[in-house]
Structure 1
Amino acid sequence: MSYNEEQAYIEVLLIKKQLNEITPEELQQLEALLKANEEAVRQSHWFETKASQSIGDIKTLEVDDKWNHFQAQINGDQHPTRSRWWIRPYSIVAAAAVLGVVLLAMNQFFFQQPAAIDKIADQSSKSTANQVTLRLGNGTQVVLNQTGRQTVQAGDAQLVADNKTLNLAETKSEENSWNILEVPRKLDYKIKLPDGSSVHLNSASKLKFPLAFNSNKREVYIEGEAYFTVVEKAEVPFIVHTPAGDIQVLGTEFNVNTYATNVLKTALVSGSVRVNDKNNSTVLKPGEYLTCNEKGKKLSTLDTKSILSWRNGVYFFRNTPFREIADMIPRWFDIQVIIDDEELNNMPFTGQLDKSESLESFLAPIQYTSGINYTLRGKLLHIYK
């Protein structure tokens, strides 16, 4: 990306920021670009000052409609969707001044350098794709460091990230503020909730949680896989919502897996939980493993080594269909797996996969013992006979 392309894109983001139309992802892009470019920082101060002065008299502005209307005009749409703009009469000139700056920046960036948009967007998505992120209730997105200590302020609440763990002290403010902790492929992360309960998230997982629990119940939402250690509070039940059902807890340790669509897998280590799927309710005892899907439910004995070993960076599998192993590989190695021969899907395998070792060290023994072949090119893995 050339210097002019970068400057033009920074101007576009600054405009959207002034109009309160910038997304959290774009705001993070802007901050990263400014951090790497001292000249851009100086220009941004001047730009923001002038833009703020220009729009200072605008009383109420429906940003989404206005921005879409403006983009439609640029794209040559003579009949954009009708929208209501509430602006003071004497502010029309100010608004026009802002849009004039927008036009200059948009003309340079979109018309003169059309390929730059996709290039920068791709760079931006890659910048956070492999990092643990925290999206606060106000829309702010924060990248959590994997090392060192980091403090995040959310209203009156303070979150501290330290040693791959996000700690949230109990607070009585922001009870209705929901936040999302997202863990990408290849990584795992822990969070200590306001009541002292902890959650260990596996790769490719999300946890939605409040900054403070209310007095009647404690609720969180999970997608992916996580291990919960819940502080016992008999008078305040702990409820885990998943896409396939809910789990009600008093005080316990359990693992929940929702990777597969419409499938809820719950492993109870200690305590007691009630699993409410779409069809019925089941109370689990320690050492039980429940699988719920659209066809019904299956209760079995918990194989702790196979189900919980991911917390130590290892997957143990025993007579596991290769399809399940293939579904797990992308989450730990961030690659796409394609099984070219369907008959391999149900072939059972026993072994282990270590997250700290290379993928080849796992595939080579399988190739030697089973005759399965593979081709790994970039981030695409083909499996075939």
Structure 2
Amino acid sequence: MNKEDVIPQNMEPDNNMEQDARLLFTCEQAMLRKKYPQPSVDTEWGKFRKETIASEIEKPAVAVQKKKSHKTRYFVLGSLSGIAATLLLVIGFQWQADKANQPIMIFTAEATTPQVTLGTDLQPQGVAIAEIKKEAAQNIIIKPHEVDFRQVATSPKYIPTQVITTPRGKDYQVILNDGTEVLLNAESKLTFPRKFTGSRRVVKLEGEAYFKIAKNEQMPFIVETERTSTRALGTEFNVKAYKNTESHVTLINGSVVVNMPEINKEVTLVPGQEVVVDQEVFKVKDVDVNYYVQWKDGYFYFDNVPLVEVLCDLGRWYNVNIEIEKPSLMSYRLHFIADRKAAIDEVVENLNSFSYLSAIKTGNKITIGLKK
């Protein structure tokens, strides 16, 4: 990967980030001041003196003394309350400022097995594919980078459900019984029947996968995720559905219908479109499909993508902790291309090629900040 492959897109200088932070802080102050006006000790003192002098003119000496004592108590209490409120506001503003500058761990490494595993509905945790012996495979053709189910024999009484999982840092090709090709990205799980029967071909996905569907108009192919159900007859599309992130369905060619059960919506995509689902909100947009093609060809390809999304994909592939020093950096958008076979140190070096980014690797943690 060359430095020319790492190109900042519409990035502003560091001063703009500082100005944005100051502007945000000022806005927060204004909103708090609107709700809790800052007490003025000078104003309270002036009111006290005015009222006290007026009382001394109009009241007898003894009454003045009582009134003065009464007013003094209220003035002291009012002043103390004002000082306390002011201190609370100052502490609140300082807390907001400190919070805005706190580093955030956006991706956490895990101690996981580096093996692709194959299991069933009765043994979902599975065993490492590399350890499955040929005689136990039941006509499943197992290779280092691919498993093929086209030759499997099944009992008409019981068709096992298979579960394939990929670890961080590895992808794996699966050829289903009908000839459909599925490339699983890192940290993904595909659940499917060993042999398709009935009127539909249904699989379940957690993570990300690229699907090249074998055409069968009589038996639609359906990919179910936590938030979407994608129906196709014969086409190519990408589904990205990692936990706690937006769900993406991106159409490369052909046609698909995406159903979103949680919000009772359904859309039909044309090539070059994707639907993005986040809780109860969805949107359909035109996209650069290269991003969804290049990962399966062995490259990271990000075009005008938020920095946080780039870093999470890097963290998932290299299984490293990634910390970002300023939350406002997460929304920076950039163009970034890298070979997935490259060492993590090379990726860090290329992140440092940006004029505004600093990437420091310490052990198994990468810290992202602004260049000094």
- 2:202 paired residue among 196, 201, 219: 219
Q: What's the counterpart of residue 113 of structure 2?
A: 129
| Structure 1 residues not aligned, in runs of 5+ | 1-124
Per-residue deviation, 1:132: 0.6
Per-residue deviation, 1:262: 5.8
1:282 maps to amino acid: V
- 2:356 paired residue among 371, 376, 384: 371
Q: What's the counterpart of residue 180 of structure 1?
A: 163
Q: State how far apart, in whole Å, the 2-side matches of 1:294 and 1:282 are.
A: 16
| Structure 2 residues not aligned, in runs of 5+ | 1-109
1:283 maps to amino acid: T
Per-residue deviation, 1:309: 0.7
Cα 1:199/1:344, change in 2 over 3 Å: same
Q: What's the counterpart of residue 256 of structure 2?
A: 273
Q: What's the counterpart of residue 49 of structure 2?
A: none
1:330 paired with 2:311, answer no
Q: What's the counterpart of residue 164 of structure 1?
A: 145
1:298 paired with 2:283, answer yes
Q: Deviation digits for residues 246-265 of structure 1, max 9, x if unmatched?
A: 11111111111012526321
| Alignment RMSD | 2.3
Q: What's the counterpart of residue 347 of structure 2?
A: 362
1:261 paired with 2:235, answer no
Aligned pair count reads 256
Overall identity of the aligned pairs, in %: 27
Q: What's the counterpart of residue 247 of structure 1?
A: 230
Cα 1:150/1:190, change in 2 over 3 Å: farther
Q: State how far apart, in whole Å, the 2-side matches of 1:229 and 1:164 are.
A: 17
Per-residue deviation, 1:352: 0.8
Q: What's the counterpart of residue 199 of structure 1?
A: 182
Verify the 8 A CA contact 1:313 1:354 in the aligned structure 2: yes
Q: What's the counterpart of residue 221 of structure 2?
A: 238
Verify the 8 A CA contact 1:170 1:195 in the aligned structure 2: no
Verify the 8 A CA contact 2:217 2:233 in the aligned structure 1: yes
1:189 paired with 2:172, answer yes
Per-residue deviation, 1:276: 0.6
Cα 1:245/1:262, change in 2 over 3 Å: farther
Q: Deviation digits for residues 8-67 of structure 1, max 9, x if unmatched?
A: xxxxxxxxxxxxxxxxxxxxxxxxxxxxxxxxxxxxxxxxxxxxxxxxxxxxxxxxxxxx
Q: What's the counterpart of residue 365 of structure 2?
A: 380
Q: State how far apart, in whole Å, the 1-side matches of 2:253 and 2:181 are.
A: 15
Per-residue deviation, 1:152: 6.5
2:226 maps to amino acid: P
Per-residue deviation, 1:383: 1.5
Q: State how far apart, in whole Å, the 2-side matches of 1:167 and 1:229 are.
A: 14
Cα 1:213/1:199, change in 2 over 3 Å: same
Q: State how far apart, in whole Å, the 1-side matches of 2:234 and 2:305 are.
A: 31
Verify the 8 A CA contact 2:139 2:152 in the aligned structure 1: no
Q: State how far apart, in whole Å, the 2-side matches of 1:275 and 1:152 are.
A: 40
Verify the 8 A CA contact 1:228 1:253 in the aligned structure 2: yes
Bigger Cα Rg: 2
Q: State how far apart, in whole Å, the 2-side matches of 1:185 and 1:366 are.
A: 21
Q: Deviation digits for residues 144-189 of structure 1, max 9, x if unmatched?
A: 239xx963736xx431212411011253426542221000011100
Verify the 8 A CA contact 2:177 2:195 in the aligned structure 1: yes
Cα 1:272/1:384, change in 2 over 3 Å: same
Verify the 8 A CA contact 1:240 1:246 in the aligned structure 2: yes
Q: State how far apart, in whole Å, the 2-side matches of 1:273 and 1:153 are.
A: 37
Q: Which secondary structure state, in structure 1, belongs to the residue aligned with residue 352 of structure 2? A: helix
Q: Which secondary structure state, in structure 2, belongs to the residue aligned with residue 209 of structure 1? A: strand
Q: Deviation digits for residues 94-114 of structure 1, max 9, x if unmatched?
A: xxxxxxxxxxxxxxxxxxxxx
1:171 maps to amino acid: A
Q: Deviation digits for residues 90-142 of structure 1, max 9, x if unmatched?
A: xxxxxxxxxxxxxxxxxxxxxxxxxxxxxxxxxxx96x611111112332732
Q: State how far apart, in whole Å, the 2-side matches of 1:141 and 1:323 are.
A: 32
Q: State how far apart, in whole Å, the 2-side matches of 1:244 and 1:261 are.
A: 11
Per-residue deviation, 1:198: 1.2
Verify the 8 A CA contact 1:258 1:264 in the aligned structure 2: yes
Q: Which secondary structure state, in structure 2, belongs to the residue aligned with residue 370 of structure 1? A: coil
2:318 maps to amino acid: F
Per-residue deviation, 1:295: 4.4
Q: What's the counterpart of residue 96 of structure 1?
A: none
Cα 1:368/1:251, change in 2 over 3 Å: closer
Q: State how far apart, in whole Å, the 1-side matches of 2:257 and 2:363 are.
A: 44
Q: Deviation digits for residues 275-304 of structure 1, max 9, x if unmatched?
A: 011220111122222212224222222312
Q: TM-score, normalised by structure 1?
A: 0.62
Q: State how far apart, in whole Å, the 2-side matches of 1:372 and 1:232 are.
A: 46
Q: What's the counterpart of residue 302 of structure 2?
A: 317
1:242 maps to amino acid: T
